[in-house]
Amino acid sequence: MTTHDVFSDSGNQTEKLRRALTTPLLTLYGLGVTVGAGIYVLVGTTAAEAGAYATVSFLIAAVVVAFTAFSYAELSTRYPVSAGEAAYVEAGFRSGAMATLVGLAVALSGMVSAAAVAIGAASYLQGLFAAPQWVLTVVVVVLMGLIALWGITQSVTVAAIITLIEIGGLIFVAVWGFGISEPLGVDLVDMLPPLVGPHWIGIGAASLLAFFAFVGFEDMANVAEEVKDPVSTMPKAIVLTLTIATLLYLATTTAVLTAVPLSRLASSSAPLALVFEAAPKGVQQSFAIVAIVATVNGVLIQMIMASRVLYGLADRGHLIAALATVWPRTQTPVSATVVVMCIIMLLTLALPIEALAERTSQIVLLVFVLVNSALIRLKMRGGTVPQHFNVPIIIPVLGVLTSLLLFGTAWL
């Protein structure tokens, strides 16, 4: 039996996941978790590390992500199943134990990321509601868990609508920061770093945080079992997600650096709102609502991803069978979703947002190294697969090297 045969059937459950996601929905799903997960929350923290060169950190993170994105595009068409990374690693390394560890790492990264974003959502919510942050955080997680249980088409449609709102919010930040707000920050020419100097240590450290803002495109691989025509849809959606997110991030970060003094930006837990400090009250409140919606969306989509990973591992016998339980009415993994929701709530109460973001980035980078290595092994073992999307072997090789380099910045 070939590795493809192993993953052509994702288990023996009577109730299976519904193939309902098209290219637009899948792209909006990827943008929803990517865009909402970091840019609304961590621009200030990134600026604290890189200063005026924060935009360069986002560009470096985008390059690192790009190589691995193309590796995912090939692997997700070879093995269009839930718990995609676990399937890729098991196929490449022929190790069920390694696949289980990778799958659990992916699920953990999603839950840690969702916890970080839930804290960010609660910070924005406190501007509108006089309630303790932990109460608002728990409310956000529970509500998103209920939507995730509703059904994949319904929950992703809700996420897609929210995604369009949050993208509109970023465009609004860029327009206001460049064209309307008084330029109190950094000049454009001062955002380009000299080729050598100690500033690159800060840029490298900031790139690890900026990488958190790109965490999301890989989540699309974990709903591949619910995608219509994955061979055509997956590569297009992955490339579109990465391209649109990168352009949005570069425009937004540059606008914020232009409009807001670095000292204010570096100390803010709601950094994008600073662009509108001199704006009319109605504008400020409108953007606050958009920011809340954006961060809440990140929680929902990471929750969907993590629950599908646990479901996929259980469905293939790597975890307890109860986690593969599918609710017949909605065809969603009910047990896995409830477990994910509970773990996210515990994480939000235990760790600060900066620690959650950095741990997420490190976990995902290690997973990227293993996924790219798995593709290298598959290509060396069996060549290309003509009926699927294929990339040259240099792509996963560069994916391994760039992921290791960015991971190493944590110790600079």
Considering the domain boundaries, does residue 252 fall inside one?
A: yes
Backbone φ and ψ of 405, nearest 5°: -65, -45
- Give the number of domains in the chain: 1
Contact 168, 175 (CB under 8 A): no
Whole-number Å distance between alpha carbons of 46 and 205: 8
pTM: 0.75
Beta-bridged to residue 227, according to DSSP, are: 21
Considering the domain boundaries, does residue 25 fall inside one?
A: no
Considering the domain boundaries, does residue 197 fall inside one?
A: yes
pLDDT in tens, 254-295: 999 998 888 888 777 678 888 888 888 888 888 888 878 777
Considering the domain boundaries, does residue 291 fall inside one?
A: yes
Considering the domain boundaries, does residue 316 fall inside one?
A: yes
Q: Give the pLDDT band of residue 8 (cuts 50, 70, 90).
A: very low
pLDDT in tens, 81-99: 766 788 889 889 988 888 8
Considering the domain boundaries, does residue 365 fall inside one?
A: yes
Q: Could you tell me which residues come within 8 angstroms of residue 288 by beta carbon, excluding any fewer than 6 positions away?
A: 124, 127, 128, 273
CATH number at residue 269: 1.20.1740.10
Considering the domain boundaries, does residue 17 fall inside one?
A: no
Determine the average pLDDT of the residues in 127-142: 82
Q: Which domain holds residue 357?
A: 38-392
Contact 205, 45 (CB under 8 A): no
Cα dist from 374 to 93, 377, 381, whole Å: 6, 5, 10
In single-letter form, the type of residue at position 234 comes to: M
- Angle among Cα 164, 252, 278 to the nearest 5 degrees reads 100
